[in-house]
Amino acid sequence: MSTVLLIIGKDLRRLWALALLGFLFSFVSTLGWYWDLFPKSSGFLTFIFSQVSPVVVLFFLSVGIVQSDPTIGDRAFWRTRPISPGALLCAKLLTLVLVFGVPSLLLNAYLALSMDAPSRVAVGMLTESTGMLLMESLLFALLGALTRSLMQAAAASLAFVLVVATSAALIPLPFLFTPWRMDIPGHAARMAAVGLYSGLAALGLLVHLFASRRLGRTLGLGAIFLPAVLFSASRWPVSIGAEAPESASPAKAGTAADVQVLLARPAFAWSNGYMNDPASGTVVRSQAVAINAAIRSIPPGRIVQIASISSVLRFADGRQLAFERIGREFWPNWSSFAQASAVCAELGLPPPVPPSQPDKQPRLRLFSVIDQTAGAFAGRRGTLTATLKIYELQFRELARMAAAKGSKWTHRGQKWRIRDIAVSEGKVVASLQHLRATSVLLNEGPSHPDERSDQYRYAVALVNRARGEFALGYHVWDSFDAPQWSIDLTTRKADFTEFWMIGGSRAPAPTDAGWLAGAELVVLEAEPAGSYDKDVVLADFEIPQVADHAEAEPPAYWQ
């Protein structure tokens, strides 16, 4: 043990300046984001300072720690001294933990505490941030141990990146390289697994290298470990379970009767394409059949979307055509009326008056049909029954704070802060900063990395109850930064342009900051309420041919 401490002391004495720089970059960059200290105009410099510099220091420090006692070659000082390879490796690993792990633990413990993160989220944050940092430092340390100089280690790092990129091209692993894809189940747990298994592989290679001091064999093992890591990560994901839900009553979904769908006939053949013919097992020409449509909840106050459609066309002679189910991935996007209704419902405000016509009728694909089938049934009319899988969201109030610059709100691992808010040219403009504790180690729950598009998750409202007025904000995603692995930091801009009296009629936009003094800014989060099926029926339906939708049809009606 004394030998281990002796080596740690030696390395720290040699690299203390770099280690200090590492602490500074790590703490200053993270806390700079957290406390919103970086000037808004210095984007590139902030990026270099907070994102690039820590990685550069991590590289130099990890490589420096290992290369101060070279592993390869026969000229190393330690090789002819009473220092065992085990003690040396142990010292190097402990130095990495001391230099990177301990500060990261302290920093993330502070963040978790100050963000009021639930215990499981805090464990996830600490484990993920510290684990990722140690994994990176282990990889750099391994590259350092396999080489004899910083330049060689840098070249080896580039080579490593090339090898990983080539492997990725040869072994397609979408969960690793396109994690934003929504249709990849459990990608976060797989990402976590990649990190964990990479760290273990690097550790294994370091142990082998120190024990055997054989470069060739270690590289050979590495060539086996790399695909093994990627394969294992796709096979055995890692998670620490789900975050316990908040005790608030769960959102309750409506029923099929609470939803209306507007179908603007005629349906039309939209495009030619190809699809798999289940009968022959071959790919054949096909066409998509669509209809302009809208969807709403009755009464307003919930957001309903279509997740998938299964259609069947039945003919009078009893024959029927069943079409393959089509995933719609939450069609359509929210309408502003739907959002306003849902927000008002949650805040206890009277809902806005519904428009006589839906504010948009986007194209809804009903089914795809093989050209040959469409031709065979041309001119025949039947009844089309489309079963819509309805996915319902409700807004729940998340944060409420005074509508003033610097106001903030913290609860259960989320922090909202108003960076700026001002009345400007007949509208109110706000800049909001949102920090969210998260971890890829959590497999579900509010702190699980979100798969939904950000702008469909939050809504903001300004409410001045003293004046009896409110406004719903149109908010846009501005920038996303990741000062630490486990903190999502998003800056949002919100414009409030339309103001209403509580009770219904429009109100004039405020002209001075006095309006804001008595107002509150409310942040609402969309929450999945559940899903159910709704059938819509199109009688006297004929499979359209491409470009034949000019035919007159009865007017649209809500079903």
Partner 1 sequence: MNAIECENLGRSFGRLPAVQGLNLSVPEGSFFALLGPNGAGKSTLLKVLLNLLRPSTGSARVLGRQSTSLSAGDFQRIGYVADGQDLPDWMTTSQLLSFCRPLYPSWDQSLATRLAAQFDLPVDRALSKLSRGMRMKAALLSCLAYRPELMVLDEPFGGLDPLVRDDFIQGLLEIPGDDRPRTFIVSSHDIDEVERLADDVGFLAAGNLLVHEPADALRRRFRSIEIVGPSTIKPPSPPTEGWTEVKQASENVVRFVCTSFGGEEEGRIRARFPGATISIQAMTLREIFLVLARAERGKGAL
Q: Which is nearer to partner 1, 83 or 418 (CB)?
A: 83
Tell which one of 21, 28, 76, 242 touches partner 1 (CB under 8 A).
Answer: 76
Which of 8-16, 136-144, 241-249, 496-504 is the region at the interface with partner 1 (rule: CB under 8 A)?
A: 8-16
- Residue 41 Cβ vs partner 1, minimum distance, rounded to whole Å: 41
Q: Does 348 bind partner 1 (CB under 8 A)?
A: no
Q: Does 1 bind partner 1 (CB under 8 A)?
A: no
Is there a contact between 476 and 492 (Cβ–Cβ < 8 Å)? Answer: yes
Which residue's entry shows tokens 């990402």? 191
- Residue 82 is a binding residue for partner 1 (CB under 8 A): yes
Q: How far apart are CA 83 and CA 52, in angstroms?
A: 36
DSSP codes of every residue in 347-394: HTPPPPPPPSS-S---EEEEEEEEHHHHHHTTT-EEEEEEEEEEEEEE
Please choose, out of 67-75, 271-279, 354-362, 509-517, the segment that lies near partner 1 by the rule CB under 8 A.
Answer: 67-75
HEC letters along 82-127: CCCHHHHHHHHHHHHHHHHHHHHHHHHHHHHHHCCCCHHHHHHHHH
**Residue 525, beta-bridge partner list:** 396, 458
State how far the Cα of 470 lies from the Cα of 344, in Å rounded to an integer: 10
Nearer to partner 1, 12 or 402 (CB): 12
Stretch that binds partner 1, among 79-87, 460-468, 471-479, 483-491 (CB under 8 A): 79-87
Nearest approach, Cβ of residue 139 and partner 1 (Å): 24
Sheet with 363-370, edge to edge strand ranges:
363-370, 282-297, 259-277, 557-558
Q: Report the alpha-carbon distance of residue 222 to residue 134 in Å, rounded.
A: 18
The nearest distance, CB 24 to partner 1, in angstroms, is 22
Closer CB to partner 1, residue 77 or residue 231?
Answer: 77
Compare residues 32 and 85 and give the one whose CB is closer to partner 1.
85
Single residue of 1, 17, 44, 75 touching partner 1 by CB under 8 A: 75
Q: Is 465 in the site for partner 1 (CB under 8 A)?
A: no
Among 24, 42, 45, 77, binds partner 1 (CB under 8 A): 77
Residue 34 CA to residue 408 CA, distance in Å, equals 12
Binding to partner 1 in span 12-31, by CB under 8 A: 13-14
Structural tokens at position 529: 């309420």
For residue 86, the minimal CB distance to partner 1 (Å) is 9
Q: Which is nearer to partner 1, 15 or 384 (CB)?
A: 15
Is the Cβ of residue 13 or residue 235 nearer to partner 1 in the bound state?
Answer: 13
Tokens 């109100």 correspond to what residue? 507
- 3-state SS string for 45-72: HHHHHHHHHHHHHHHHHHHHHHHCCCCC
Q: Nearer to partner 1 by C-beta: 147 or 305?
A: 147
For residue 546, the 8-state DSSP code is B
Q: How many CB atoms lie within 10 A of CB 57?
A: 21
Q: How far apart are CA 390 and CA 309, in angstroms?
A: 9
What is the nearest approach in angstroms of partner 1 to the Cβ of residue 15? Answer: 10
Kindly state whether residue 68 participates in binding partner 1, applying the rule CB under 8 A: yes
CB of 159 to partner 1, least distance (A): 24
- Cβ-proximal residues to 557 (8 Å cutoff; 6+ apart), any chain: 262, 263
Provide the token pair at 378. Answer: 């041309």
Minimum CB separation of residue 78 from partner 1 in Å reads 9
Q: Please identify, using beta-carbon distances, which residue of 84 and 255 lies nearer to partner 1.
A: 84
The residue ranges that bind partner 1 (CB under 8 A) are 2-3, 6, 10, 13-14, 68, 70, 73-77, 79-84, 87
